[in-house]
Amino acid sequence: MKVTEKLISHIEGINMISDVNNLSKDVYSTINEERFTPNNSTYNELASSGNLSLIENDSIKQLLLDLEELYKNNLFGIEHEAFEYKEYINKSLFTYVDLNSLKSIFYNGKTAESLSINKDHFNALFNSLEYKNGLAISNIISEEFIPRYKDIKKKSSLLIDIINNDLEIYND
């Protein structure tokens, strides 16, 4: 979100990014999609085999069901975000910039200067309303993830606490 906000601000002429290396890295980073993919295979096995009833603590069962629902909603959001990235951000990048050169700066420590890249190389991209709108949509979607992830973290922590508590009682 910080990178896309910075790029939008640059495109709008509010906060210009003067370092072409940082600008190159920021632009390249907009093709990177990060995903939260929980490992819920144990829950899925319990649910599909009918063995969820083996869990006696109703609070644990309810939290597992709540988390599963949050994971499903999260997956839908990720699929929506991936579509937006491909449709609005990646297409513009593929059209207006040399990603291979930017990759060398992002991953291999090359400099924009050594690759003869300057701010003018980004003019067509930054004049693309599609790219700017793609960045804006990306931010909107990312903002929607924050409360969901906070809820997942809260419920996961609570679940761990309840399980640990039950284990202490069981082991005593």
pTM of the model: 0.76
**pLDDT exceeds cutoff 90 at 163:** yes
**pLDDT exceeds cutoff 90 at 26:** yes
The 10 Å CB-count burial string (b at 16+, else e) for 47-76 is: eeeeeeeeeeeeebeebbeebeebbeebee
Greater confidence (171 vs 40) lies with 40
**pLDDT exceeds cutoff 90 at 162:** yes
Q: Rounded mean pLDDT of 4-8?
A: 94
Q: If we measure between CA atoms, which residue out of 32, 6, 1, 43 comes closest to residue 145?
A: 1
Q: Rounded mean pLDDT of 122-140?
A: 93
**pLDDT exceeds cutoff 90 at 111:** yes
The pair of three-digit structure tokens given for residue 31, joined into one six-digit string: 């093709």
**pLDDT exceeds cutoff 90 at 115:** yes
pLDDT in tens, 62-79: 999 999 999 988 888 888
pLDDT of residue 164: 93
pLDDT of residue 123: 95
pLDDT of residue 84: 80
Q: Rounded mean pLDDT of 24-30?
A: 93
Token pair 């990235």 is found at 85
pLDDT of residue 147: 92
- Band the pLDDT of 116: cuts 50, 70, 90: very high
Token pair 């649910």 is found at 47
With a CB cutoff of 8 Å and minimum separation 6, the contacts of 27 are: 7, 93, 97, 102, 122, 125
- Helix H or strand E segment including 12: none
